[in-house]
Amino acid sequence: MKSPTPMLRRIQVMEGPLTIYTATEQKDVLLSLFPLAHEVELDLSNVDELDSAGLQLLILIKRESLKEGTQLLLSNPSPTVTEAIRLSGLDDYFTNASFPLSVGA
């Protein structure tokens, strides 16, 4: 059987909460993106709740992107996402050109 040809870019729009109650179901969806793309963009504009399980999932996805040699872009962060990442001290870990975090906001 022929393996699927990787796409250049996959965009996944995240909506609603990214919490302990949703992280497990989101994990499989997000991990399935990496073998299929050279670049994965997560649009976080509609994430309205983010807890430690959601942050752990984002860390896992970032780690998987590095392992696969895929660029991960976190784009359009909602205020909730920006604040959670800032409060957790993960600003530098997740900062990229598409994800500006305002320091001290």
Task: Say if residues 41 and 65 touch (Cβ distance below 8 Å).
Answer: no
Which pLDDT does position 18 carry in this prediction? 95
Q: For residue range 74-86, what is the model confidence (pLDDT) as tens digits?
A: 999 999 999 999 9
Which pLDDT does position 5 carry in this prediction? 55
Burial of 63 (0-12, 13-18, 19+ CB in 10 A): exposed
**CATH of residue 55:** 3.30.750.24
User: Residue 76 domain-assigned?
Assistant: yes
Q: Give yes or no for residue 61 having a pLDDT over 50.
A: yes
User: Residue 79 domain-assigned?
Assistant: yes
Which pLDDT does position 77 carry in this prediction? 93
User: Residue 8 domain-assigned?
Assistant: no
Q: Give yes or no for residue 23 having a pLDDT over 50.
A: yes
Q: Span 75-103, mean pLDDT?
A: 79
User: Residue 15 domain-assigned?
Assistant: no
Instruction: Note down the domain range covering 44.
Output: 37-98
Number of domains observed in the structure of the chain: 1
- Considering only CA atoms, which of 32, 82, 88, 29 is closest in space to residue 56? 88
